[in-house]
Amino acid sequence: MGADHIPYVCIATAVNMAGGQPISLGNLRAVRELCQRHGIRVIHDATRVAENAYFIKEREPGCADMSVAEIVRAICDLTDGCTMSAKKDALVNIGGFLALNEDDVFDACRSLVVVYEACTPTAAWPVATWRRRHRSARERSVRHIKARVVR
Ligand SMILES: Cc1ncc(COP(=O)(O)O)c(C=O)c1O
């Protein structure tokens, strides 16, 4: 028990498991401070981060003039790494990624990919998927996000 036994706290932006509730930058900052006090990483499930960023832009005081990309950056600056299922907000047909600030932890995780996923999958993705991933990140417009979240 205790902080030494907690490798990370997971923050899922606009977690859909609990009804799609977004987190504010203010609340994320508070989580970050609490975790930092106890030496615990904050790892971000960024699967639906664009939608969460849109909500922050629309609702959080002081964020209206920030772009969605700037808000995503601010979220990432408050976390130690992220997982991303790219089929959702990144609008690609397959794949995802793990990104970590700590090289040694990243290397340890990469070894586990061999155990759980058979190979480091990035090399196996079709070229078209890579192209779509890069393009979708640029083309994802606020209009598209709004169409998804305003129902
Ligand atoms: C926030 C979040 N994380 C992770 C996942 C899981 O993604 P995958 O379908 O790649 O397992 C989902 C799926 O909807 C999700 O909404």
Task: Report the residue count for the chain.
Answer: 151
Structure tokens at 68: 């969605």
Domain boundaries, the chain: 3-144
Q: State if residue 15 touches ligand 1 by the CB under 6 angstroms criterion.
A: yes
Does an H or E element contain 84, and which? strand 81-85
- The pLDDT value recorded for residue 21 is 86
- The pLDDT value recorded for residue 125 is 56
- The pLDDT value recorded for residue 130 is 59
pTM metric for this prediction = 0.82
Q: State if residue 94 touches ligand 1 by the CB under 6 angstroms criterion.
A: no
Other beta carbons within 10 angstroms of residue 105's beta carbon come to 17
- The pLDDT value recorded for residue 93 is 75
Q: What are phi and psi of 109, to 5 degrees?
A: -65, -40
* Closest atom, ligand 1, to C-alpha of 87: 10
Residues in the chain with pLDDT values less than 50:
123-124
- The pLDDT value recorded for residue 4 is 92
- Asked: is 3-144 a CATH 3.40.640.10 domain? The reply is yes
Distant-in-sequence contacts of 136-145, Cβ < 8 A, 24+ apart: 136/90, 136/91, 136/92, 137/90, 140/50, 140/68, 140/89, 140/90, 140/91, 142/54, 142/57, 142/68, 145/50, 145/51, 145/53, 145/54, 145/68
- The pLDDT value recorded for residue 76 is 96
Q: Is the backbone of residue 142 left (phi > 0), alpha (psi -120 to 50) or beta?
A: alpha
